[in-house]
Amino acid sequence: MKIQSAIRNQNSAMKKFLSLDPDVKVLLPDGSTRNLSVYLIPSVLLMLAALLLMTSMFLPYWNMEMTAPQYPKGLFVDVYVNHLEGDMREIDELNHYLGMKPLDEGGQFERSISMAGIVAMGLLLVASVFVHNQWAAILALPVIAFPIIFVADLWWILYQYGHSIDPNSALGGAIPPFTPPVLGQGMVGQFGTIATFDIGFYLALAAVVVMLTGLWFHRAAYKPIVDARKNVNSAR
């Protein structure tokens, strides 16, 4: 009977823990208590941010539509963090006509490390759940920088495309150096382009927003513990 009673008590405590029961309290070093939910909220948000970020690497981050008289339906290319998809052959034929490099020659190094880099950032976010001081924010810094780095690197790749035109190509001598737009409409000779960000990039941005919210709750939850420890140590 005692064993059964102990099991019932243990199950009851576990149910309270999983249901964020307000009666479940966390004891601070100074003897005060706080609700368990205060500490679970930032953990859930940081884990969600990691999930959003790592999901984004399987989805397109950016796409471009190219319109030309000989292609009335347009040509499309979707840019993932590790590969390109779409009307690659046709666009490369146009690029050759314009004196530009093939699409897959740009950003080869970035694509080769992107998957490992995103997984590493996701793991850093997961690790920040178990760090209960200001180092949690430092672990999250790469995630904040990632969308900015992606846009800057994309602009640099597009800049290189537009400033390395072969003057011996069919139209190379007639087209001045240019930079295709990262976002919006543009013209490349007689060809029009429309560039937009895609769902993968927006998931990465959502991960940043969720992560920053989680860090705010993280600070609100753990700063009192850090302060309480300091007060206890100073009183000794």
Angle between helices 135-162 and 108-129 (to 10 degrees): 170
Q: How far apart are CA 37 and CA 21, in angstroms?
A: 8
Encoded tokens for 203: 């998931």
- 26 domain-assigned: no
Number of domains observed in the structure of the chain: 1
This model's pTM is above 0.85:
no
Note the pLDDT of residue 5: 43
- 29 domain-assigned: no
Q: How far apart are CA 15 and CA 12, in angstroms?
A: 5
Note the pLDDT of residue 207: 98
- 163 domain-assigned: yes
Domain range enclosing 149: 35-223
Q: How far apart are CA 170 and CA 56, in angstroms?
A: 39
- 27 domain-assigned: no
CB 188, CB 177: distance < 8 Å:
no
- 13 domain-assigned: no
- 174 domain-assigned: yes
For 123-161, letters b (16+ CB in 10 Å) and e give ebbbebbebbeeebbebbeebeebbeebbeebeebbeeb
- 142 domain-assigned: yes
- 25 domain-assigned: no
Note the pLDDT of residue 10: 39
Q: How far apart are CA 22 and CA 119, in angstroms?
A: 35
Could you read off the pLDDT tens digit of each residue along the chain, which spans 236 residues?
433 443 344 344 444 444 555 456 655 555 566 666 677 889 999 999 999 999 999 999 999 998 877 788 889 999 999 999 999 888 888 777 777 888 888 889 999 999 999 999 999 999 998 988 888 889 999 999 999 999 999 999 999 988 887 777 666 666 778 888 999 998 876 778 899 999 999 999 999 999 999 999 988 887 777 666 666 566 66
